[in-house]
Amino acid sequence: MKLHSSPTQQYQTVTGYDDTGVEINAQRFDYSLLVMPETPPRPWPVASFEALTAEHFEKIEADQPDVLILGTGDKQRFVHPKLIAALLERRIGCECMDNKAACRTYNILMGEGRKVTLALILGEAR
């Protein structure tokens, strides 16, 4: 699904997505990644939801977002509280949803000027 007809280069915006990947400012990604409004997308070494560990969330904690939007793949799944305990201790919210909902929610929060991180689990990690 295309979300925007033209990319915006000021912020990292989800401009499209489908079952196998996502477009950030019209650049296609087919591997798990982290996206923040003012930082270029970067790989996130997560091969699957089942492979998530607390260490995967340490990279996100270091960025100090207000909220993490976790895209868990093609269906919504909920991460175990032990994995995100460090985030919760720092008062960083974590919302779990399927990838399509996560992309839409990220764009809304980013548009509101929130300090948000989108973490998407896509295909095999690189």
Q: Give the start-to-end residue ranges of the domains of the chain.
A: 14-120
Q: Which fold has domain 14-120?
A: Hypothetical Protein Mth938; Chain: A, (3.40.1230)
Q: Is 31 helix (H, G, I), strand (E, B) or coil?
A: coil
Q: Would you give the end-to-end CA distance of the chain in angstroms?
A: 24
Per-residue pLDDT, averaged over 48-72, amounts to 95
Question: In this structure, what DSSP letter does residue 25 have?
Answer: T
* C-alpha to C-alpha distance for 64 and 91, rounded to whole angstroms: 10
* C-alpha to C-alpha distance for 73 and 115, rounded to whole angstroms: 22
Cβ within 8 Å of residue 64, ≥6 positions away: 90, 92, 115
Rounded to the nearest angstrom, the gap between the alpha carbon of residue 44 and the centroid of all alpha carbons in its chain is: 9
- Condensed to tens digits (0 to 9), the pLDDT of residues 1-46 reads 555 544 445 799 999 999 889 999 999 999 999 999 999 999 999 9
Please tell me which residue, 44 or 125, carries the higher pLDDT value.
44
User: Which pTM does this prediction carry?
Assistant: 0.89
Query: 37 with 85: CB under 8 angstroms?
Result: no
The type of residue at 119 is A
Nearest to 72 by CA among 22, 18, 120: 120
